Structures are given as C-alpha cells and as structure tokens.
C-alpha cells in the first residue's frame, strides 16, 4: 500500500496559497475574516 498523504509544497501553494485565495470571491472573504481576527499569518506557509 502507498501512503495516503504525499505532501507537495507546489500543490499546497496552488490550492491554499495567498494568490489562490485572492482569485476567488470566497477566498478574499476568508482573507478578510482572518485579517479581522488579527491573524499573524493569513495563509499557511
């Protein structure tokens, strides 16, 4: 059996990165909400 989780930094960045969030209306709302909450990092690194 293969491992079920094969992390790739590129796939993660394209899915959950800052630019990916900014591309959609919902993603921009997520960023706004995180800014409102005073979040140190807006997205995962």
Give the CB-side neighbour count of residue 24, counting CA atoms within 13 A: 9
Q: Given this model, what pLDDT does residue 10 score?
A: 96
CA nearest to 18, candidates 27, 9, 5, 7? 27
Q: Given this model, what pLDDT does residue 15 score?
A: 95
Whats the size of the chain, residue-wise? Answer: 45
pLDDT (tens digit, 9 = 90+) per residue, 1-45? 999 999 999 999 999 999 999 999 999 999 999 999 999 999 987
CA distances to 1, 2, 3, 25, 28 from 17, in Å: 30, 26, 24, 15, 12
Query: Which CATH fold would you assign to the domain 8-45?
Result: Helix Hairpins (1.10.287)
Spatial distance between the Cα atoms of 21 and 41, rounded to a whole number of angstroms:
13
Domain boundaries, the chain: 8-45
Q: Given this model, what pLDDT does residue 13 score?
A: 94
């Amino acid at each position: 059996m293969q491992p079920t989780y094969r992390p790739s930094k590129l796939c993660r960045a394209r899915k959950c990165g800052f630019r990916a969030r900014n591309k959609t209306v919902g993603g921009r709302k997520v960023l706004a909400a995180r800014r409102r909450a005073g979040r140190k990092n807006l997205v995962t690194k």
